[in-house]
Amino acid sequence: MTANLLGTSVGDILGEVFDAEPDELFVVNPSADAIESVVDAATEFDGALPETRLLADDRLLKDVMGDFLVASNTADLIESGALALRTSDDLSRSSLLVTDDRVVALVTAGEQTAGLVTDDETFVPAARDAVEADWAAAEEYTLRTPAISRVRQTLDDEIGADVEADFTDVLASLETARGDGDGLDEVTVSLLVAAKNRVLLYDISKWGEDVGIASKATFSRTKTKLEDVGLIDTEKVPIDVGRPRLRLKLADDRLQDAPPSELASVAQTVLS
């Protein structure tokens, strides 16, 4: 890997770094795309991951983690001990990957990224000392998004396997999950698949609050929004004591048997 990695993607470069089996990896001052590539590459890698320490600009990292798809996979990596995040408002270094025995500078030109590599016995230790100092001075980043594995497991256990399967399939059909017009957010996805499977609002919102997706109040507000635009509807279900519960259902019966990708597409079109 001492040869430069030219005309490739950040994901490909990271794959080669992982294949070299370093014990530790520093990812310093990555771009937004590089942060996503780190998460994707680490999530998909089949071998033993190095202890990866990602040091990024604070505002940039917050923006990237606003995508549930990225953040929930990041949370999985953090919970497994494979990834740690810290931030700094004063990062003047180039985008770097640093291991015990090499430094890779990430240089992007158009749609291509080159990994410019050195294993110089003098430069590498000096670079590592510098990034270790940066890491020690940086602020820990607290990610509040729950790990996707825990989200799926609890959804399966507490709500049902069909709901978990639909939830997973809808997420897989999205390029981003921000709820800003480019993709449905995690609360909207939860409510849509709950409506598809006629789950009680109480049950899905309690699950969502318990697992850390959002509060019951957020689920209730989002439910009202989806009702107002005609995506879902509710029916009252009497209970022995107290007010009736609300069962969610899709407002358009034609969507009931639609594949998850079509359900997501219709919802995005209506909400945009």
SS (H, E, C) 24-55: EEEEECCCHHHHHHHHHHHHHCCCCCCEEEEE
Domain boundaries, the chain: 5-140, 148-271
Query: Could you give the CA distance from residue 83 to residue 93 in angstroms, rounded to a whole number?
Result: 21
Cβ–Cβ < 8 Å for 246, 219 = no
Within 13 Å and on the Cβ side, how many CA atoms surround 249?
11
- Indicate if the alpha-carbon torsion angle 150, 153, 158, 164 is positive or negative: positive
Query: Could you give the CA distance from residue 145 to residue 211 in angstroms, rounded to a whole number?
Result: 9
Q: The domain at 5-140 falls in which architecture?
A: 2-Layer Sandwich (3.30)
Say what the pLDDT of residue 5 is: 61
Say what the pLDDT of residue 6 is: 47
pTM: 0.92
pLDDT confidence band for 181 (50 / 70 / 90): low
- Just give the CATH number of 148-271: 1.10.10
**pLDDT digit string (tens) for 110-135?**
778 888 999 999 999 999 999 999 99
**pLDDT digit string (tens) for 51-67?**
999 999 999 999 999 99
Say what the pLDDT of residue 130 is: 94
Average pLDDT value over all residues in the chain: 91
pLDDT confidence band for 109 (50 / 70 / 90): confident
Say if residue 7's pLDDT is above 90. Answer: no
Average pLDDT over residues 225-233: 94
Say if residue 3's pLDDT is above 80. Answer: no
**pLDDT digit string (tens) for 21-46?**
999 999 999 999 999 999 999 999 99
Say if residue 223's pLDDT is above 90. Answer: yes
For the chain, where are the E strands, in sequence order?
5-8, 24-28, 51-57, 83-88, 96-98, 103-109, 112-118, 139-140, 232-237, 245-250
Query: Could you give the CA distance from residue 191 to residue 255 in angstroms, rounded to a whole number?
Result: 14
